[in-house]
Amino acid sequence: MFHTLFGDELEDLCIPWITGGSSNLAVRRDLAWDVGGFDEIFTGWGLEDLEFEYRLHQAGAHFAIGSKATTFHQLHPRHWREMMRSTISNYKRFYQKHPTLQVQLFVQYRMGDLTIQSYNDTARREQIGCITPTEISAAREYYECFALMDEDALAEKWVQSALGPNNWYEKRAGTKPIEGRSMRGNPQHPKN
């Protein structure tokens, strides 16, 4: 998705750290060492890789997508509710470490309440000092509401959006996940 919108070199993306995930990530050893590597305060599933990439971005790392690279991922059971609960806790850890507008907006983006284009535009305007106090206040309010939400109810909402009709997972993976089973065990998986 990101290379389609921004090209492999991510020229117009001012928040390239959001493209990440560590399933196929190459970083110079000295740079990884300089930013402290993966932070072990992140537990469970999610965001340890993006927080690492956020720090790499802050340190001036260049991000690019190898759209011709192949990644193989070992399929394994996914316990969606557990994963979403730990992701919610990790969002909070991420923001506690980096209480910035970019991280506040990241929550809105991942919740589906902010498009990548709007997120990028706001981040660009922040970088050049053209962000309004109203925008900062709105982002803070959104995050504070998120932080106060019941984590189980929020996790359930995310699971339903992932597993329900026209879900994000199906669009991304081409198949519907089944709670507690790997994609390979899913009879709807194209490889089965």
Judge whether 190 lies within some domain: no
What tokens appear for 52 in the block? Answer: 């690492």
Instruction: Report which of 42, 62, 43 is spatially closest to residue 52, judged by C-alpha positions.
Output: 42
Which positions ≥6 away from 161 have C-beta within 8 Å? 112, 167, 168
- Counting Cβ atoms within 10 Å, is residue 84 exposed (0-12), middle (13-18) or buried (19+)? buried
Tokens of 135: 């925008």
Task: State residue 103's pLDDT score.
Answer: 92
pLDDT tens readout for residues 80-96 = 788 888 888 999 999 99
Residue 56, in any domain of the structure: yes
Question: Number of folded domains in the chain?
Answer: 1
175 found inside a domain? no
Query: Domain for residue 75, yes or no?
Result: no
Mean per-residue pLDDT over the chain, rounded:
80
> Do the domain assignments include residue 124?
yes
Q: Would you say residue 154 lies in a domain?
A: yes
Domain range holding 54? 2-66+81-164
Q: Binning pLDDT at 50, 70 and 90, where does residue 179 land?
A: very low
177 is a domain residue = no
For the stretch 134-170, pLDDT in tens is 989 998 898 888 888 888 888 887 777 666 554 444 4
Q: How far is CA 45 from CA 21, 41, 89, 186, in A?
A: 12, 12, 10, 21
The residue-averaged pLDDT of 55-77 equals: 85
Task: Say which residues have a Cβ less than 8 Å from residue 159's Cβ, sequence separation at least 6.
Answer: 80, 81, 84, 179
Task: For residue 54, tell me if it sits in a domain.
Answer: yes
pTM of the model: 0.80
